[in-house]
Structure 1
Amino acid sequence: MFRSMAKFMLALAAIVPLASHAQETPSIKLGYAKCAHCTPLSLTPQHAANVKLEAIGFNTGNDVLTALLAKSIDVAQVTYLHYASALDKGFDLIAISGQVNGGSQMLVANDLPIKENDWASLKKVIADYKAAGKPFRVAASRGNAQDIHMRGAFAKQGIDVNRDVQFINIPNPSDHVQALRRGEVELICSVDPFATQIRQLNAARFFAYPYDQAAGKLTNLIVTRSDVIASKPKAVEETVRSIVKVNALMAADKPLFVETIQKVTGLDKAIAAGAVENLYPDYKMYRSSAVALGAMMRDLKYIQSDVSAAIEKNMDYRFLEAATGKSKSALGY
């Protein structure tokens, strides 16, 4: 009897660790860039349930995408531009949620006779530079949403980024203000909060919001890889659920949005408050606009192939549907 009981206890001891291991909470590493749009993602761990969520900040969206493709993280905040570019290169990328849109500003050097929202005055100055044999230098961080917003807006106004102006790539948006102060560029399309910082420091003047193009205000997209979905579908769902919760907080509580931007970027309250006015929390994924963006990128020779089918195929609405209780037709499909 005693021996039988001892054997039972030993067998039970062997099983319990396995059961405990099976019930471990799955983990997700979520990467985001340190721009104003993206900072709310730093709050997702505290609003996540049934998933051990770690939010990791990166300097740029390109860095985040690189980490995702290298399998250093599981889920990434990138832009619709990154999404189309990655699909053009054949990378494994699945879009699972929107996040925040907007946040782009076009700024011009203080000494230029260019009027706010006056494209005719901009085109005249560009023509004057060409006549004088000088390059009119425009800058952005190549590969981010502001880059494609600017290129699309220019194209709609008949300005050729490759022929009429000289494009300067400044990878880190935090360096934009110094480029303007040093007189290295005439116009820059920057991301908030850095665009608002530039204006408040009087390093440049506001020209326009570059939203009059196929991409509109489309900016941030949450993506993952197919292997993550296959191995951790419930964890992916809970990650999306936490993003939806945080978006609702940002939309309802602008002071919290401002505080979050301050905490992540280190910029002061006035800059963060200004940036929030140009940001639009939005978890929907806009399929038709994303396809239009892909077409525009191809027209601009930003990508080489037609990614329309891939953009549609790789948008997985299941997790948003589960998190919101809404159908994909109500979520941007």
Structure 2
Amino acid sequence: MKKLICLVAGMASLAVLAMNDVPAAAQAEPTIKLGYAKCAHCTPLALLPQYAKGVKVEAIGFNTGNDVLTALVSKSIDVGQVTYLHYAVALDKGFDVVAISGQVNGGSTMLVTNDLPVTPEDWGSLKKVIAEYKAEGKPFRVAASRGNAQDIHMRGAFAKQGIDVNKDVQFINIPNPSDHLQALRRGEIELICTVEPFGTQIVQLNAAKLFTHPYDQAAGKLTNLMLTRSDVIAAEPKALEETVRAIVKIDDYIAGDKSAWIDVINKVTGLDKSVAADAIGNLYPDPKMYRASALAIAVMMRDLKYINSDVSAAVEKNLDYRFLEAATGKPKSDLGY
């Protein structure tokens, strides 16, 4: 019996020694579940599993940024690609969210129906038509996916031009951007602010005409923001650092290789490559986080009654630059702070 005990103990010791000899790379990597919306900005995140080193990233596609935010705050995912708008809304509702990097900006397109006598980039012509509808007692129907960046870009641009979205036009919410095309074809709306690549698809199919890219407002071209939660930061700081490092790599990659970006848009959305090729002309890879602009967006959203409280302090406090600094080797002063 004594010999058997010694034999078992010896085998256990050998097992421990063998485990200690296993290279670190062969040991189980931490896993980060990352959610992204299926728009042209966001689709490059589908490449994360092959770009991330030292962490296993599960990239999960959602229909909208609202769906991603819901998954993040309910702890179904660890990191979510949303927008600066979602960030302010989440903080206004008291959710635990922390911004850790940017990703891709731009992507907003305002379109009007083909029969409207509106000239591209001419706000005077649009306001004239809106006034005519109002005088005739007809609603001038404008649409977006409420809660996304395109919605706030449109509302901000309207406000700057003196158009009251609550009095001068009738807002219609179409949650899924992939439904925007059919809403135009059915004649349900006069104007829509949609996201790429759906905006380009609509123009290419002649379902509407381009009016403008609504970047003349406090948000500018800013769109995507990567969020996590404080519990994920506490549990997996190194995994988050490697995730952000992979996002930075992908941004550099798609900025230099347009064909790769076109391919991933085509793969994730199923839209034709000609649509993707035109859509990326309205997109700007950029992993920086812009503090001053984030604060301006929060103020604009309160002015537009999109949020109820002043979240300026929380917006600034919850921008965590440590992961971007580690991933890029740059100080936060060079990363949008």
1:7 is matched with which residue? 9
Q: Deviations over 1:81-124 (max 9, x none)?
A: 00000000000000000000000000001100000000000000
1:88 aligns with 2:122: no
Q: Specify the SS of the correspondent of 2:66.
A: helix
- AA of the residue aligned to 1:7: A
2:50 is matched with which residue? 46
1:278 aligns with 2:287: no
- Distance (Å, rounded) in 2 between the aligned partners of 1:300 and 1:219: 18
Report the TM-score when normalising by structure 1.
Answer: 0.97
2:122 is matched with which residue? 118
Q: CA deviation at 1:260?
A: 0.9
Q: CA deviation at 1:7?
A: 2.1
Residues 136-285 of structure 1: matches in 2 within 5 Å? Answer: 136-285=140-289
- Distance (Å, rounded) in 2 between the aligned partners of 1:25 and 1:312: 32
- AA of the residue aligned to 1:132: E
- AA of the residue aligned to 1:274: D
- Distance (Å, rounded) in 2 between the aligned partners of 1:47 and 1:5: 46
- Distance (Å, rounded) in 1 between the aligned partners of 2:20 and 2:318: 36
1:314 is matched with which residue? 318
Q: CA deviation at 1:269?
A: 1.0
Q: Specify the SS of the correspondent of 1:31.
A: strand
Residues 95-106 of structure 1: matches in 2 within 5 Å? Answer: 95-106=99-110
Q: CA deviation at 1:173?
A: 0.2
Q: Specify the SS of the correspondent of 1:72.
A: coil
2:139 is matched with which residue? 135
Q: Specify the SS of the correspondent of 2:36.
A: strand
- AA of the residue aligned to 2:45: L
Describe the shift of the 1:144–1:19 C-alpha distance in structure 2 as closer, same or farther (beyond 3 A). farther
- Distance (Å, rounded) in 1 between the aligned partners of 2:228 and 2:14: 39
Q: CA deviation at 1:70?
A: 1.1
- Distance (Å, rounded) in 2 between the aligned partners of 1:25 and 1:231: 13
Q: Deviations over 1:277-319 (max 9, x none)?
A: 0000000000000000000000000000001110000000000
Describe the shift of the 1:15–1:161 C-alpha distance in structure 2 as closer, same or farther (beyond 3 A). farther
- Distance (Å, rounded) in 2 between the aligned partners of 1:329 and 1:64: 29
- Distance (Å, rounded) in 1 between the aligned partners of 2:21 and 2:35: 31
Q: CA deviation at 1:12?
A: 4.8
1:77 is matched with which residue? 81
User: What residue ranges of structure 2 are gaps of 5+ in the alignment?
Assistant: none
Q: Specify the SS of the correspondent of 1:277.
A: helix
Q: Specify the SS of the correspondent of 2:120.
A: coil
Instruction: Tell me the C-alpha RMSD between the 2 structures.
Output: 1.8
Q: Specify the SS of the correspondent of 1:267.
A: coil
Q: Specify the SS of the correspondent of 1:73.
A: coil
- Distance (Å, rounded) in 1 between the aligned partners of 2:255 and 2:12: 55
- AA of the residue aligned to 2:311: V
Report the TM-score when normalising by structure 2.
Answer: 0.96
1:63 aligns with 2:98: no
Q: Deviations over 1:115-140 (max 9, x none)?
A: 00000000000000000000000000
1:35 aligns with 2:39: yes
Q: CA deviation at 1:13?
A: 3.6
Q: Specify the SS of the correspondent of 2:183.
A: helix
The partner residue of 1:107 within 102, 111, 115 is 111
Q: Deviations over 1:243-262 (max 9, x none)?
A: 00000001000111111100
